[in-house]
Amino acid sequence: MSEKLQKVLARAGHGSRRAIETMIMQRRISLDGKIATLGDRVDVRQSTKIRLDGRVLAITESNAAICRVLAYYKPEGELCTLHDPQGRPTVFDRLPKLRTSRWVAVGRLDVNTSGLLLFTTDGELANRLMHPRHEVEREYAVRVFGQIDEDKIKQLNKGIQLEDGPASFHKISFQGGEGINQWYHVTLTEGRNREVRRLWEAVDVKVNRLIRIRYGDINLPKGLPRGGWTELDLKAINYLRELVSLPAETVSKLPVEQERRRMKANQIRRAVKRHSEKKRADTRQIKKRRL
């Protein structure tokens, strides 16, 4: 069955449907060698060639277009990019390999921020979840260093003018701590670059630990180690789709036995350990070659 060209490209993670429609009108996209138009439909096969500015795009075959979502516990030190020229670890390194689709990150976390990061095979879902108009709530656990009084909390709740516009926390709750090292939970509905850190810095408070613990109603899974991932079941996927006005899915790639129980933490830990050992071995080999 054929689908609109913009729908196929959005699902593959190349932008929102509206953004892709603009590219089509700008004559930047071609379909099998011909300049695409807004009415074009496509039945995606291995031989299909879609280009943007002359570059062939990775696309998803229609018969493999089942929406999948992973919850990943990002460690500090990993970059939110597909490839790093310097060979540093990225959030994509440990994800399961796909043949006919690809993982699209739902937003980003700074290299020094850890916690929940969602990935999906549905680019349209990722784009909508990231768009500010849907106001999907994110919650972070923050360890701060500095003197905090009621006036600073009021400022953070009321709003602070940052270099890219006003920003504020929707909620701030004290979680404990000693002296000037204290833990807070904060929530906001935007994903601007370093927004949590910049808000605290605006009131002369330093953030020395930042962990995302929730995205919408999806919590960082208990027992999931840093660098581990688990696949969400159909109920959780359809919750995310409903948040951004996408139709519900009726099938899942997740095996039935995994829908009934979460992947055991020790299984994930073994996978993380194997990956870490391989990384260390690769690093040692690179150092030997340099010597």
pLDDT for 271-286, tens place per residue?
667 667 766 776 777 6
pLDDT for 60-104, tens place per residue?
655 446 889 999 999 999 999 888 888 899 999 999 988 767 899
CA-closest candidate to residue 108, choices 74, 135, 141: 74
CA-closest candidate to residue 13, choices 130, 131, 129, 123: 123
Average of per-residue pLDDT across 128-152: 91
CA 261 to chain CA centroid, Å, is: 24
Predicted local distance difference test score (pLDDT) of residue 203: 94
- Domain annotation for the chain: domains and CATH numbers: 3-63 (3.10.290.10), 69-132+221-290 (3.30.2350.10), 137-215 (3.30.2350.10)
Predicted local distance difference test score (pLDDT) of residue 39: 87
pLDDT for 23-53, tens place per residue?
999 999 999 889 999 989 888 776 788 999 9
- Distances, alpha carbon 210 to alpha carbons 4, 118, 134, 144, in Å: 41, 17, 24, 9
Q: Write down the catalytic residue from 110, 151, 164, 282.
A: 110
pLDDT for 202-215, tens place per residue?
999 999 999 999 99
The residue type at 222: K
Average of per-residue pLDDT across 173-198: 89
Q: For residues 82 and 277, give the distance between their C-alpha atoms in angstroms, rounded to a whole number.
A: 21
| Alpha carbons within 13 A on the beta-carbon side of 165 | 3
Query: Could you confirm whether 204 is annotated as catalytic?
Result: no
Give 199's pLDDT tier (boundaries 50, 70, 90): very high
Percentage of the chain surpassing pLDDT 90?
54
CA geometry: angle 181, 138, 233, nearest 5 deg: 125
Give 257's pLDDT tier (boundaries 50, 70, 90): very low
CA-closest candidate to residue 122, choices 36, 59, 41, 38: 59
